[in-house]
């Protein structure tokens, strides 16, 4: 027996203590929809008995559920409340993504809900009231929200055209977001508030938004702008299949910049890597990482390494990573040019890459 056989396990233990992020997340918002439309039974392995997806995810290490909420339509409040109950029942925390829209909100679409006002004063008031009601509803059913996004991928502001930054400047967007933040603080002071931006790899775009959106600390009433103290966390989407600039090195630059400049915590709220992809038609941002389950594992491990280097270097803390829709059978492409981004097969069987959650 050499000394090494003692030292190596100790070193591995110390490393695992340093590297554990607080949140190992999955956004499985589609689950209730999938259960009602697709004939799929989820299993944790090819020999395991069927179980609800949230139970399988939890057993693989997921400790927070990201749930999108639309103002009406498929992912309305009732739907979100129901899913949150199931997530909480297996032991997960809750991350809510408010879209402030009746449909998907992303950098190219931020539609004002059909029964909301469209003028700025009306939107400020409506955003406050709506956000307050949502947060209260989660409190009331005893699934309190740990993290909440005020808007989804709002790189050019929420609620267009009124809140669109490239149309009306930062002022309207800043007021609207402050109204959302104020409502969260009032309804649930312990909930952390997240500003969520897409293209995490694009440091210049992220900085443009964060440099413009905050006003100096004011009296803070409804109608004033978003202050630094309104926001606890910056959330980023970062996908490898929407352009070759989405490199890990670029993501690292953004994260380092956010942590040192804004002193905010950081969470990757959406990411994924293809299990199946024709790279002849869809180029990936990290060609050295293979398509397939091994690549899914590498991509997440590389992001974990980036987040851990931020933890060590700066005041802002990296909170975790959320994998986007790992079990959406019937929509495996998830809007990408690749054919399958999931962590389960088309039969609902967990792939080997489900293990990513325990290495976050
Ligand atoms: C928000 O709620 C307040 C208090 O109930 C109400 O006076 C106001 O009209 C509501 N705003 C909108 C836009 O509905
Ligand atoms: C990220 O960038 C920082 C410099 O800002 C560097 O120290 C660190 O090693 C990088 N992390 C990774 C995982 O590349």
What is the tens place of the pLDDT at every residue in 66-97?
A: 999 999 999 999 999 999 999 999 999 999 99
Nearest residue by C-alpha to atom 12 in ligand 1: 126
CATH code for the domain of 296? 3.20.20.80
pLDDT of residue 313: 66
Alpha carbon of 254 to ligand 2 centroid (Å): 11
Closest ligand to residue 129's CA: 1
Its domain, for residue 111, covers 22-359
In a domain, 16, yes or no: no
Ligand 2 atom showing the smallest separation from residue 308 Cα:
13
* 91 within 8 A of 56, measured Cβ to Cβ: no
Counting as low any pLDDT under 70, the low residues of the chain are 1-19, 219, 313-314
Q: Which residues line ligand 2 (CB under 6 A)?
A: 252, 256, 305-306, 309, 313
Distance CA 172, CA 176 (A): 6
DSSP 60: T
Nearest residue by C-alpha to atom 14 in ligand 1: 126
Beta-bridged to residue 192, according to DSSP, are 147
Distance CA 80, CA 82 (A): 5
Residue to probe by mutation, ligand 2, list 254, 305, 313, most atoms within 8 Å of CB: 313
Number of domains in the chain: 1
Distance CA 241, CA 110 (A): 22
In a domain, 1, yes or no: no
Nearest residue by C-alpha to atom 8 in ligand 1: 125
Residue 261: which residues within 8 A CB-CB, separation 6 or more?
Answer: 207, 210
Q: Which residues line ligand 1 (CB under 6 A)?
A: 117, 122, 125-126, 129
Q: What region, left, alpha or beta, does residue 321 occupy, with left being phi > 0 and alpha being psi -120 to 50 degrees? A: beta
List own/partner pairs for 221-227 with CB under 8 A and 24 or more apart.
221/182, 222/124, 222/125, 222/128, 222/178, 222/179, 222/182, 223/121, 223/124, 223/175, 224/175, 224/178, 225/171, 225/174, 225/175, 225/178, 226/174, 226/175, 226/177, 226/178, 226/181, 227/178
In a domain, 8, yes or no: no
DSSP 314: S
In a domain, 248, yes or no: yes
φ, ψ at 50 (rounded to 5°): -60, 145
Nearest residue by C-alpha to atom 7 in ligand 1: 125
Residue to probe by mutation, ligand 1, list 112, 125, 180, most atoms within 8 Å of CB: 125
Closest ligand to residue 314's CA: 2
Nearest residue by C-alpha to atom 5 in ligand 2: 256
Distance CA 158, CA 251 (A): 23
Distance CA 355, CA 61 (A): 8
Closest ligand to residue 113's CA: 1
Q: Which residues are catalytic?
A: 153, 270
Distance CA 305, CA 340 (A): 25
Omega within 30 of 0 (cis) for the link into 31:
no
pTM: 0.94
Q: How far is CA 264 from CA 36, 52, 75, 189, in A?
A: 39, 35, 29, 17
């Amino acid at each position: 027996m050499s000394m090494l056989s003692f030292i190596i396990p100790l070193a591995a233990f110390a490393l695992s203590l340093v590297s554990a992020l607080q949140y190992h997340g999955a956004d499985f918002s589609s689950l209730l929809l999938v259960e009602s439309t697709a004939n799929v039974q989820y299993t944790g392995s090819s020999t395991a008995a069927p179980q609800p997806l949230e139970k399988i995810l939890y057993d693989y290490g997921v400790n927070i559920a990201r749930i999108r909420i639309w103002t009406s339509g498929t992912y309305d409040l009732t739907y979100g409340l129901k899913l949150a109950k199931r997530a909480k029942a297996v032991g997960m925390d809750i991350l809510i993504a408010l879209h402030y829209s009746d449909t998907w909100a992303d950098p190219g679409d931020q539609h004002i809900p059909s029964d909301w006002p469209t003028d700025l004063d009306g939107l400020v008031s409506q955003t406050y009231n709506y956000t307050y009601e949502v947060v209260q509803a989660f409190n009331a059913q005893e699934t309190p929200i740990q993290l909440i996004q005020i808007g989804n991928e709002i790189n050019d502001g929420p609620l267009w055209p009124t809140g669109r930054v490239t149309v009306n400047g930062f002022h309207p967007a800043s007021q609207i977001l402050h109204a959302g933040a104020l409502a969260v603080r009032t309804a649930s002071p312990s909930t952390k508030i997240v500003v969520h931006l897409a293209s995490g790899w694009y440091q210049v775009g992220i900085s443009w938004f964060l440099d413009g959106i905050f006003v100096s600390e004011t009296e803070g009433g409804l109608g004033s702008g978003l202050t630094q103290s309104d926001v606890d966390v910056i959330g980023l989407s970062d996908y490898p299949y929407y352009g070759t600039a989405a490199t890990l090195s670029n993501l690292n630059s953004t994260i380092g910049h956010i942590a040192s400049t804004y002193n905010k915590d950081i969470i990757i709220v959406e990411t994924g890597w293809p299990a199946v992809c024709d790279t002849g038609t869809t180029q990936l941002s990290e060609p050295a990482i293979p398509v397939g389950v091994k690549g899914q594992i590498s991509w997440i491990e590389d992001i974990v390494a980036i987040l851990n280097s931020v933890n060590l270097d700066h005041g802002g803390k990296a909170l975790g990573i959320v994998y986007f829709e790992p079990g959406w059978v019937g929509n495996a492409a998830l809007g990408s040019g690749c054919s399958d981004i999931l962590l389960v097969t088309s039969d609902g069987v967990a792939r080997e890459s489900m293990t990513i959650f325990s290495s976050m």
